[in-house]
């Protein structure tokens, strides 16, 4: 398949496929006599692997360290990185839950104050912001 068909099947723009080739994430495909590159289903699989890896939070710079040019990988290194990525995700979830709690507290405090047709005192707002700033 030509690059346009590969792009259509994968949902990845042709410019991105070329970018992946330049970064070494996709194997370079030689041009045929016609001047076109013909990609096989391995290229489609590779694009899907790249997209899946990105959906798990892996950066493009991390992928060459985890997946070699033939699509193989160091299983131990990959497993260690997956475990580390899971821990990073758990930390992020915890931080977001804390942020959500602080937002709820602030919303409740503001609603209560505004129902009394008052403004939240600057000192109280500063106190709330300082409590949430570093957590």
Instruction: Say yes or no: 15 and 69 in one domain.
Output: yes
Report the distance separating Cα 112 and Cα 104, nearest Å.
12
Q: What's the whole-number mean pLDDT along residues 64-82?
A: 80
Which residue among 33, 49, 73 closes a domain? 73
Compute how many other C-beta atoms are within 10 angstroms of the C-beta atom of residue 125.
15
Residues 74-124: tens digit of each pLDDT: 788 889 999 999 999 999 999 999 889 888 888 988 898 899 988 888 888
Q: What's the whole-number mean pLDDT along residues 64-73?
A: 73
Question: Chain-centre distance of CA 131, in angstroms?
Answer: 29
Instruction: Say yes or no: 61 and 102 in one domain.
Output: no
User: What pLDDT score was predicted for residue 88?
Assistant: 95
Residues 21-62: tens digit of each pLDDT: 999 898 888 888 888 999 999 999 999 999 999 999 899 998
């Amino acid at each position: 398949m030509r690059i346009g068909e590969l792009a259509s099947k994968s949902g990845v723009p042709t410019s991105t496929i070329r970018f992946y080739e330049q970064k070494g994430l996709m194997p370079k495909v030689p041009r045929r006599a016609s001047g076109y590159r013909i990609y096989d289903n391995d290229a489609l699989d590779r694009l899907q692997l790249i997209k899946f890896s990105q959906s798990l939070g892996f950066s493009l710079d991390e992928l060459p360290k985890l997946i070699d040019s033939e699509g193989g990988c160091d299983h131990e290194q990959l497993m260690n990185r997956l475990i580390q990525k899971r821990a990073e995700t758990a930390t992020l979830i915890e931080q977001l839950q804390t942020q959500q709690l602080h937002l709820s507290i602030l919303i409740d405090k503001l609603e209560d104050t505004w129902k009394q047709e008052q403004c939240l005192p600057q000192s109280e707002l500063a106190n709330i912001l300082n409590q949430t700033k570093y957590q």
